[in-house]
A and B are shown apart, each in its own frame.
Chain A
Amino acid sequence: MQSSPLPRIGRTSRALALAGCLLLILPQVVVIITSIDPNPAAIFPPHDFSLVWYGNAITRPAFREALVMSVGVASVCALVATAIGTLAALLVVRHRFSGRNVLVAALQLPMLVPEVLLGLGFLILFSRIGLRLSLVNIVVAHVVITMPFAVRVVIANLQTVSPSLEEAAQVLGASPAASFLRVTLPVIRTGIVSALIFSFIVSFDNFTVTAFLVTGRGTLPIEIYAYIRTESDPTIAAISTMMIGVSVVGIFVIDRLLGIERLSRTQAAH
C-alpha cells in the first residue's frame, strides 16, 4: 500500500466503478438480446431472430387489459396527486403560518414509510371498513404514495419563481384567481408537467403496494410477475425491451424539460 499507493487506488476504484456500471447495463443488454430469441427456452445467446414474443406480448389479452389498467390508474393518480401537490406546494412556499415546517415534513412522510407497511396498512384499513373495490383501493393508495413526489417537484419549481410577479399582476388590477391562472400557473408549468410525469411513473412502476391490494385482474407489473411465475418463454423480455424504449423516450423528454444533470443535483439535495 505504502510503496505504490497512486496507481493501485486508482485502478481498484476504476474497476469497481466499471463493475457497477456493468451491473446496471448488462441486464438491459441481455434482456434486449433475449427478446428476439425464437427459442422458448431462451438459451443465451440466440441462434436465430424472431419477433414472435413481441407478437405474443401485444396480442395477449391479459397484458393488454393490464396495460389499460396500469395507464388508467397511473393517469388518474398523476392528475390527483399533482393537483394535491400543487395546492400544498403553493401553501408552503407562498404562505407563512405556524406549523408550516410540520406540514412540509408530513407531506414527505409517505415516501419514508416502507411500502410493505403501506400496502399492509391499506389492506387492513380497506378490509376493516369493508371497501372491496380493488381498483379504487389501488388508486387511493397510489395517490398517497405519489403525492410526496409531486409536492417536492412543484415546491422546487415554485421556489425559483418570485412572488413579486403575482403581486405585480394584482397591483395592476388582476384578481388573485386571475393572477394565479394567468401568471403563476404558466411559470410553474414545468414543475407541474414534471410532477405529472414523476407521479405517473411511480404509480405505473408500483408493485409492492398493488400486490397487497389487488384482487382479480392486476396492473401490468402484477401480470408480468404472474407470467414469470408460470411461463419461461421470452415474452417478458419483449415487454421489458419495449419498456426500456419508453423509458429512454421519457428520459429525453424530462431532459428537455428539466435537464438530467440538474435532476441529479436536486436528487442530491434531499
Chain B
Amino acid sequence: MITAPGCRGCGVRAALAAPALVALALLAAALSSLLIASIGGTPWFQHYRKFLGDDLYVAYLVRSFRVAAWTTLVTIVVGYAIAYTMTQASATTRRLIVMLLVLQFFSISVTRIYSIILLLGNNGAVNRSLLALGVIDAPVRLIYNEFGVVIGLVNASLPFAVFPIFSVLERVPSSLREAAYTLGARRARSFWRIVFPLSVPGVAASVVIVFLYSLGAFATPLMLGGGFVDLISVFAYEQAINFSNYGFAAAGAIVSTVLGLALVYAFTVLIERRAET
C-alpha cells in the first residue's frame, strides 16, 4: 500500500491485514445497517419508542433477562460442581467428562435440542419412565415453558462454565488447602474462605459468557419454548422474517444487547472492586 522509504515491511503488513480488514469492514457494515435501520423511519427513534412504550414488547425483554439469569445461576452452580469433581477425580474420569463436554460443544445445536425434546417432551423418555413406574398419572410438562428453555440453555452452556472454572481450580495450590486443614478449618470453611475466593476470576468469566450467550440464544427458545416462551431473539426473527419489520426487530435486539452488556459491565466492575479490597 504505502512503500515510502523507511517503511520496510509495510507492504507485507498491508497484504497480511487486508483480507481480515475486509471481513471486519463487512461486520461494521452489517452492524451499522442494523443501527441505522433501528433509528431510521419517521419520526426518528419511533421503533425504540414503540418497543419500550408497550408492555407487550417489554415483556419479551423481562422474559429474556429472567431466563438468562436462571440459566446463568444453574449453569454456574452445576458447572462448578462438575469442575470441582474433575479436580478430585481419577485421570480416566476427568478425561471422560472432558470428552463429554467437548462432544457437547461440537454437537450440532439443532439435533442437540431435538434430543432434549425426546428426553423431556410429554411423550419423552422421562415422562414415559415416570408413568411406567407409577410415579405420575399424567405427563408432566417439562418443555414448552420457561423451565424447558432454561434446561436447554444449561445443557448448551455447561462447557462455557466448566472449562474456565476447572482451569482456575486446578491452579489453586493444594498446599493452601492443606495449610487450612492443618490450622483446623473444616472442609466447608476452607472451601468458602480459601478455594472459592481464588476461583472467583474463573466464575466471573463464566458468568459473563453464559449470561450473554443465553441472552442472545435463538434456536433453544425457538424449539423448546414451543411458541409459549418468546424471547427477544425470537421476537426479532419473527418481526424481521414474517413482517419484514427490520427497524423494529433491530430496535428490540439492540435494546436487549445494550442492557445485557451494561449489566455485564456493572458486574465486572463490582467483581474488580471486591478483588481490590
Against B, the Cβ 8 Å flags (1 = close, 0 = not) of A1-14 are: 10001100110011
A140 within 8 A of B: yes
Stretch at the interface among A48-56, A158-166, A181-189, A221-229: A221-229
Say whether A30 contacts B106, CB under 8 Å.
no
Say whether A90 contacts B111, CB under 8 Å.
no
Bound state CA distance, A5 and B181, in angstroms? 13
Contacts of B216 in A (CB 8 A): 114-117
B82 within 8 A of A: yes
Known contacts A13-B81, A24-B158: A31-B114 contact under CB 8 Å: yes
**In the complex, what's the smallest C-beta–C-beta distance from B243 to chain A, in angstroms?**
13
Bound state CA distance, A162 and B191, in angstroms? 41
Say whether A228 contacts B114, CB under 8 Å.
yes
Closest to A83 in B: B19
Against A, the Cβ 8 Å flags (1 = close, 0 = not) of B33-51 are: 1100100000000000000
**In the complex, what's the smallest C-beta–C-beta distance from A206 to chain B, in angstroms?**
9
Say whether B98 contacts A17, CB under 8 Å.
no
Contacts of A45 in B (CB 8 A): 125, 128
A-side interface mostly = helix
Say whether B202 contacts A95, CB under 8 Å.
no
Bound state CA distance, A220 and B257, in angstroms? 28
Bound state CA distance, A125 and B116, in angstroms? 35
Bound state CA distance, A79 and B82, in angstroms? 36
A168 within 8 A of B: no
Bound state CA distance, A87 and B27, in angstroms? 18
Docked complex: A125-157 residues within 8 A CB-CB of B: 125, 127-128, 140-141, 143-144, 147, 151
Contacts of B189 in A (CB 8 A): 5
Q: Could you list some 30 contacts between A and B, CB below 8 A?
A: A9-B191, A19-B78, A24-B155, A28-B115, A84-B20, A87-B17, A88-B16, A91-B17, A91-B20, A95-B16, A109-B27, A110-B23, A114-B257, A116-B233, A116-B253, A117-B34, A120-B34, A121-B33, A236-B114, A237-B118, A240-B115, A247-B106, A250-B106, A251-B102, A260-B98, A264-B101, A264-B166, A267-B163, A268-B166, A268-B202
Residues of A within 8 A of B (CB): 1, 5-6, 9-10, 13-14, 16-17, 19-21, 23-28, 30-31, 33-34, 41-45, 83-85, 87-88, 90-91, 95, 97, 103, 106-107, 109-110, 112-118, 120-125, 127-128, 140-141, 143-144, 147, 151, 176, 201, 204-205, 207-208, 211-212, 220-221, 224-225, 228, 236-237, 239-240, 243-244, 247-248, 250-251, 254, 260-261, 263-265, 267-269
Residues of B within 8 A of A (CB): 9, 12-13, 15-17, 19-20, 23-24, 26-27, 29-31, 33-34, 37, 77-82, 84-85, 95, 97-104, 106-112, 114-119, 123-125, 128-129, 151, 154-155, 158-159, 163-164, 166-168, 186-189, 191, 202, 212, 215-216, 218-219, 222-223, 232-233, 236-237, 240-241, 246, 249-250, 253-254, 257
